[in-house]
C-alpha cells in the first residue's frame, strides 16, 4: 500500500529543488525513468525533460516555492493533491491540483491542472 503523503512530499521536494544535482537525485529516487508530466502549460517525458520543465519554472519564478495545500488523497496506484506556488512567506499566486499515477511506489505519470493563476 502506498504512503501517498510521502509520495506527494517527494513530488513537492523535486519541484522545489533549485540545485540541479539535488533535483536529479530526487527524480532518480522517486520518479520512473520514463515518467511523463503534462499540464495545460507544458509537458515532458523522461527524467531529463521533466528536469528541464522544473528548471524553467525556477527561471520564470525565482524565489517561489511549492507547498501542499490540504490533504493528499489516494487509492491503489493513484494519488491526488493540491498545491500552491508563490514567494517564500507570501500567499500562493498559483494554485493547482495534480493526479499522480505510480509504478512500484515511484511517480510514473503526472496529470496537472491549474486551478488559479495570478501572475
How far apart are the C-alpha atoms of 106 and 90, rounded to whole Å? 31
Query: What tens digit of pLDDT does each residue of 26-74 get?
Result: 999 999 999 999 999 999 999 999 999 999 999 999 999 999 999 999 9
Confidence class for position 104, pLDDT limits 50, 70, 90: very high
pLDDT (0 to 100) of residue 74: 97
SS3 state at 95: strand
Looking at the chain, the whole-number percentage of residues with pLDDT higher than 70 is 97
Give the domain range for residue 65. Answer: 4-117
pTM (global) more than 0.85: yes
Count of structural domains, the chain: 1
Q: Mean pLDDT for the chain?
A: 96
Are the beta carbons of 40 and 113 closer than 8 angstroms?
A: yes
- What's the CATH number where 84 sits? 3.10.450.50
Amino acid at each position: 500500500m502506498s504512503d501517498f503523503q510521502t509520495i506527494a512530499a517527494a513530488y513537492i521536494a523535486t519541484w522545489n529543488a533549485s540545485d540541479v544535482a539535488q533535483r536529479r537525485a530526487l527524480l532518480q529516487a522517486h520518479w520512473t525513468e520514463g515518467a511523463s508530466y503534462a499540464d495545460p502549460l507544458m509537458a515532458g517525458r523522461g527524467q531529463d525533460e521533466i528536469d528541464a520543465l522544473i528548471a524553467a519554472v525556477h527561471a520564470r519564478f525565482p524565489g517561489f516555492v511549492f507547498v501542499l495545500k490540504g490533504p493528499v488523497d489516494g487509492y491503489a496506484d493513484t494519488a491526488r493533491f493540491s498545491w500552491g506556488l508563490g514567494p517564500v512567506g507570501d500567499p500562493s499566486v498559483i494554485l493547482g491540483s495534480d493526479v499522480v499515477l505510480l509504478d512500484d511506489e515511484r511517480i510514473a505519470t503526472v496529470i496537472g491542472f491549474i486551478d488559479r493563476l495570478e501572475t
